[in-house]
Amino acid sequence: MQPISRRNALLLGGIGAVGVLAGGAGLTWALTPGSSTVTGLEFVEPEPLRSVNGRLQVRLSAAERPVQIAGRQARALTYNGGLPGPTLFVRPGDRLNVTLDNGLRAATNLHVHGLHVSPQGNSDNVLLAIDPGTSFDYEYRLPDNHPPGVYWYHPHHHGSVADQLFGGLYGAIVVEDPDLIPISRERILVVSDISLDSSGRVPATSPMDRMVGREGNLVLVNGQLTPHLTARPAERERWRIVNACVSRYLRLRLDGQQLQLLGIDSGRFSSPQDVDEVLLAPGNRADLLVTTAPGTTVLRTLPVDRGTTAGMMGGGQASSTGADLVTLDVSGDPAASPGPIPAQPAPRDLRTATVTARRELTFAMGMGMGTGMMSFTIDGKSFDPARVDTTVRAGAIEEWTLTNTSPMDHPIHLHVWPMQIIEQGGRTVDAAVWQDVVNVPARDSVRVRIPFDDFTGKTVYHCHILDHEDEGMMGIIEAR
């Protein structure tokens, strides 16, 4: 099978369009003689932690710990010893307090990816650093009208984001619906990838892998290799899927089952969209309804062509490979039909809104002048923590053209404020589609509109191929 084209991948990721291709391949892990991977264990979920009376108090300890990965003892970075960390369940209007203990050997911090909360002080402030052996108390106050959906948390200390995420530091956040959707059960699927050497440790990353964006040899779901799920026919399950990979795109299929997409990231459709496949760039999330049919099927991620590095340090393809993720076995007596899905509020639509400013951001990569090293830039500049790159007026609605001049795709993430996709692939988007990670294909552009509501302060926008962000493809934005 040929990998999906970058343009088609963009369309799938942007509007949840359906595909017609099938197939996929599993990954293998080169082990020491006599050892083997263990697959097909019973599916497990991270520990759930739920808010009570409008508040959730959590303590997260970031540290290297022994863990079981694919049946082998390994050493990984963890929150509270788990891979992933606990899932945080909150509601609109809640207060989330997180004490982060840094047991790592390097500085770290915490980003609540996708949450519409303040970027200042001890809220979603990714410009601060928590030194080894110290702790920090975060407090996030969710607005009363915060969109429901699946979000996630991970480190965001510039220069080590990719290493710490690839090492195992990530976890899901769920903002629950005010009106429940009738389902048989809900599942959290945090998809990540990792590479391990013969001693069970994460090996050093080569300059080429950092340039392309590293992808691990093992693709895990909740820290497991191809876990096994069971269900009865006619059940309606809700799968909240997080792409927690550093660079891997996930092109998801579950052939033989009925799939309906509630939304991508914080965006929600007015009614569920029937889909055959969904593509998630790094950092994207999917809120998916699965209505089960008898038989055994496999949730797969299929290959994705995300560009080339031709002419750069030797060059080569940057393709996300395929893998089997989860096996689903559906058998037994059919379940009772679930109730109807309540109508969802119509998403906000900025297509006819008054735009207060327009700007273009250019994402580029090439050889640095006089250094012989790769450079990753926005508007010709690499990240500088002392420089504000973009200043916006609080309450403004801006239109940004995100232009990618490089030969590789770049998924662009803006903190705090989600983006409505207006135009992609040269075509106007005829629906209100909201995402906080927007894929910009190689040598192409995407047009978005952003309402800078509710908050002031400094935060960042960047490529969510996190090796690229660490290498400089990030800028600071200040709303005031």
Mind listing the pLDDT tens digit for each residue in 116-155?
Answer: 999 999 999 999 999 999 999 999 999 999 999 999 999 9
pTM: 0.91
Q: How many CB atoms are located within 10 Å of the residue 336 CB? A: 9
Q: Is the confidence at residue 19, as pLDDT, over 60?
A: no
Rounded CA-CA distance 248/246 in Å is: 6
Which long-range contacts (C-beta less than 8 Å, at least 24 apart) are formed by 198-206? 198/31, 198/32, 200/69, 200/72, 200/73, 200/74, 200/75, 201/74, 201/75, 202/75, 202/76, 202/166, 202/167, 205/162, 205/163, 205/166, 205/467
Q: Is the confidence at residue 392, as pLDDT, over 80?
A: yes
Determine the pLDDT at residue 318: 81
> Whole-number mean pLDDT of the chain?
90
Which among 126, 306, 304, 151 has a CA at the least distance from the CA of 213?
A: 306
Tens of pLDDT, residues 179-233:
889 999 999 999 999 999 999 999 999 988 999 999 999 999 999 999 999 999 9
Cα torsion 302, 14, 216, 299: sign: negative
The confidence band for 160, taking pLDDT boundaries of 50, 70 and 90, is very high
Tens of pLDDT, residues 72-113:
899 999 999 999 999 999 999 999 999 999 999 999 999 999
Rounded CA-CA distance 409/283 in Å is: 14
The confidence band for 312, taking pLDDT boundaries of 50, 70 and 90, is low
Cα torsion 126, 129, 132, 137: sign: negative
Chain mean position to CA 249: 9
The confidence band for 46, taking pLDDT boundaries of 50, 70 and 90, is very high
The confidence band for 36, taking pLDDT boundaries of 50, 70 and 90, is low
Q: Is the confidence at residue 13, as pLDDT, over 90?
A: no
Beta strands 111-113 and 135-141 are: unpaired
Contact indicator for 418, 452 with CB cutoff of 8 Å: no
Query: What's the angle, vertex CA 470, arms to CA 465 and CA 471, rounded to 5?
Result: 95
Largest alpha-carbon pair distance within the chain? 69
Rounded CA-CA distance 279/409 in Å is: 14
Q: How many CB atoms are located within 10 Å of the residue 380 CB? A: 8
Q: Is the confidence at residue 7, as pLDDT, over 50?
A: no
Distance, first Cα to last Cα, the chain: 50
DSSP assignment string, 274-339: EESEEEE-TT-EEEEEEE--SEEEEEEEE-EEEEE-TTSTT--EEEEPPEEEEEEEE-SSPPPPPP
**Residues paired with 424 in a beta bridge:** 427, 446
Q: What average pLDDT does this structure show over 152-159?
A: 98
Determine the pLDDT at residue 370: 56
Determine the pLDDT at residue 188: 98
Query: What's the angle, vertex CA 111, arms to CA 323 and CA 246, rounded to 5?
Result: 25
Report whether the peptide linkage leading into residue 272 is cis, meaning its omega lies within 30 degrees of zero. no
Q: Is the confidence at residue 18, as pLDDT, over 70?
A: no
Tens of pLDDT, residues 433-474:
999 999 999 999 999 999 999 999 999 999 999 999 999 999
Contact indicator for 392, 351 with CB cutoff of 8 Å: no
Contact indicator for 304, 11 with CB cutoff of 8 Å: no
Q: What average pLDDT does this structure show over 389-398?
A: 98
Q: Is the confidence at residue 387, as pLDDT, over 80?
A: yes
Comparing 282 with 14, the larger pLDDT belongs to: 282
Determine the pLDDT at residue 28: 33
> Which ranges constitute the DSSP H helices of 349-439?
none
Q: Is the confidence at residue 37, as pLDDT, over 80?
A: no
The confidence band for 429, taking pLDDT boundaries of 50, 70 and 90, is very high
Q: Is the confidence at residue 8, as pLDDT, over 60?
A: no
Query: What's the angle, vertex CA 277, arms to CA 271 and CA 282, rounded to 5?
Result: 95
Determine the pLDDT at residue 317: 73
Rounded CA-CA distance 220/84 in Å is: 10
